[in-house]
Amino acid sequence: MASHQRSGARGLIGLATVGALLLGTPTAAATDDDGPVEAGIFVEKVEDLPEDFIHGADISMVLSLEESGVTFYDTAGNEADLFAVLADAGITDIRIRVWNDPWDSEGRGYGGGNVDVSRAVEIGQRATAHGMSVLVNFHYSDFWADPGKQFPPKAWEGMTVDDKVDALGEFTRDALEDFRDAGVDVRMVQVGNETNHAVSGVSAWPDRARMFSAGSAAVREVFPDALVALHFTNPERAGTFAEYAAQLDQHGVDYDVFASSYYAFWHGTLENLTDVLSHVAETYDKKIIVTETSWAYTLEDGDGTGNIIGSDPGHDRYSVSPQGQADALRDVIAAVNDLGDAGLGVYYWEPAWLPVGPPEQIEQNWVLWETYGSGWATSYAAEYDPDDAGEYYGGSAWENQALFDFEGHPLESLQVFRYVYTGAVAPLEVVRVESPELVVVHGDEIALPSTVRVTYNDGSVDQHAVTWNDDDVAAIDGPGTYEVRGLTESDIEVTAEVVVQPVNYVVNGSFEDSDTSMWTISGAGAAITTTNDAADGTRAVQFWAPEPYEFTVSQQIEGLTAGTYRLSATTQGGDSPQTDERRLTATTSAGTYDADLLLDGWRTWRTTTVEDIVVEDDGTATVAATFTLSGGAWGTFDDVVLERTGDLEPEWPAWDPAQVYVAGDMVNHQGADFKASWWTRGQEPGDPHGPWQEVAAAPDGTALWTPSRVFDTGDVVLHDDVRYTARWWTRNQEPGTSPWGPWETDPA
């Protein structure tokens, strides 16, 4: 039953329309005293939000998009300049990334907007012309810089740290002079982008601090009134922001603003964000901004290359819809505002990175991406970033997180920057219906929930009874992923995903249980901990050390049934050159089986699999991951699975009822080995009185007693873990059943 009743019409909608675009014409600007305005979305007012709070947007892609033919519209449906649309929506500041030299040797752009200094200045001039201030975001790289990649510019390759410090200062100074001379209103300058582990390839804190200081000094010289920001990410990692701020303070880095990325699908709770940032603000008297945030309004792919958020992130509060975007953005603004005077503002990342064409025009899209750099990377970037851009270049992976629809019309979520001052109300609609996910081990009961959660655009939630399709449930058979259809009491179609996993013989393979005594970690730099960088759940083996280090994570498994097995584990991380060793191994009495583990970047999950592992009759295997890493290498190791894939190939041929066998011939039948005692044909092995003796042995070679096997005086057997010696010839007389029988306990 629906537990939450309301008067009036209830706009129940099916899954097909849950992600529908909520377009609308915004109301005139309102003051705090006006109360909630009528709109197409609900927005809770942010209390005591200053009028000078920064409402920012990073639109570094804009020139490449316009060059590719992308058109933007205002809320009335008229073609319009993007900058005018953003300013009308309450955007006060524009963030612009700057790359040193995003061009190959033939002058072809790497993509991502091809934003060098001259193009960044052009964007800044347009922002200033529309009354918006600018945040200049120096990556100090020729292409994307993030926690997993901090490549130095091509021109800086081979430089010493001293030379890089000088080059960074000079580049910053020269670039900012271009902004100044062009009349750009620069409010803030970001010295490095997501510099958790390095900046421009420099990782040691004393040297990194010198790089920051060189950039800061250049800002002070060219724009004395501008704020200097340093940018980090992963606020969910306990203690990291406090450590970064302490290092900056210890090394005397001159800066004003501690900046953080925050994406709700990656970075933990907003309560934690406010907590870790307030520590920095209060301890070191710093201002705070969130320089990057976003949320998805649809799961559709707009250009044919797939998106970073391609499935529902499953957030408890935020639906994949314009309403979900509004909720997510409003909450980040509120979290920063909760910092008081220290909280300066929030920037939405690439709200206008739209498709250059629909998926069915993919060939034409490729031409535009390659020609104008309007995708995330072009093929020409391979010379600079061969392992990432060189492999996965293509279009936008972000268009479903834009604040515009695929055709360039603004979503009403763009108006949140204004609505947070007044609040907004809208007709009630369903924005999300829960799609349950059930994970079971093969053989477990399939118990689907009797109700599903239905979320409305005002944030309220109902529980609706659901009936599941019996045929879909009956079709679940064996390991795999299954979809089960359902219908709620209010006729909303729902689906549940049932994942049937094979039995995992690794105990606590995802490290989620607090008891980790079954695991052994030797060496340095690694620990089992809670982290948002876990591949499965919230815990993993996390590793990092400033100097070269090595460690091994291992578990011994006993009681396995003889057969073949598959071992897998998942890793992510970076700053680990090819000379490092990273091995996943399984060791059994039959041998050692191994494969390389990969660290291909932050949250770039790579699953390594070791196939055809032979476990013999002793039933024992040791699984391990061994790392020998360079200083500064980092990552997580998670989701270790050992699953049985089949029986061992029998040593002897299968018994054939049509074949003639003579004494001494060996066959395999139903997984057991048999030896012929005399001539036979058509007599099935297994009869304790027939021509076949079942032959089996313990791991140490001692014969196992079987009813059909003939034993003679002095023969030693193992039965129920007890050794016996035959007093005389015997067959089908079980040891231990009679003190007067043919068996006596073996004194050995």
- Which residues are marked as active site? 194, 292
Q: Are 201 and 158 in contact (CB under 8 A)?
A: no
Residue 204's identity, in one-letter code, is A
C-alpha 85/C-alpha 73 separation (Å) is 7
C-alpha 522/C-alpha 506 separation (Å) is 18
* Phi–psi pair at 592, nearest 5 degrees: -115, 135
Q: Which of 295, 308, 294, 301 is nearest to 376 (CA)?
A: 308
Q: In 3-state terms, what secondary structure has residue 404? A: strand
How many beta carbons lie within 10 A of that of residue 309, not counting itself? Answer: 18
User: Encoding tokens for residue 8?
Assistant: 């009036």
- The distance between the two most distant Cα atoms of the chain, rounded to a whole number of Å, is 109
C-alpha 258/C-alpha 437 separation (Å) is 38
Contacts of 259 by beta carbon, 8 Å cutoff, 6+ apart: 190, 229, 230, 231, 232, 288, 289, 290, 291
C-alpha 284/C-alpha 287 separation (Å) is 9
Strands (E), 647-687: 660-661, 666-669, 672-676, 680-681
User: Exposed, middle or buried by CB within 10 Å (0-12, 13-18, 19+), for 240?
Assistant: middle
Instruction: Sort strands 563-574 and 601-615 into parallel, antiparallel or unpaired.
Output: antiparallel
C-alpha 67/C-alpha 83 separation (Å) is 15
C-alpha 475/C-alpha 481 separation (Å) is 11
Helices (H) and strands (E) in the chain, counts: 13, 37
C-alpha 305/C-alpha 82 separation (Å) is 24
How many beta carbons lie within 10 A of that of residue 583, not counting itself? Answer: 17
Residue 124's identity, in one-letter code, is G
DSSP-derived secondary structure for 454-473: EEETTS-EEEEEEEE-HHHH
* Phi–psi pair at 343, nearest 5 degrees: -80, 110
Q: Are 522 and 506 in contact (CB under 8 A)?
A: no
DSSP-derived secondary structure for 223-249: -TTSEEEEEE--TTSTTHHHHHHHHHH
- Give the sign of the dihedral formed by CA 683, CA 705, CA 733, CA 671: negative
How many beta carbons lie within 10 A of that of residue 712, not counting itself? Answer: 9
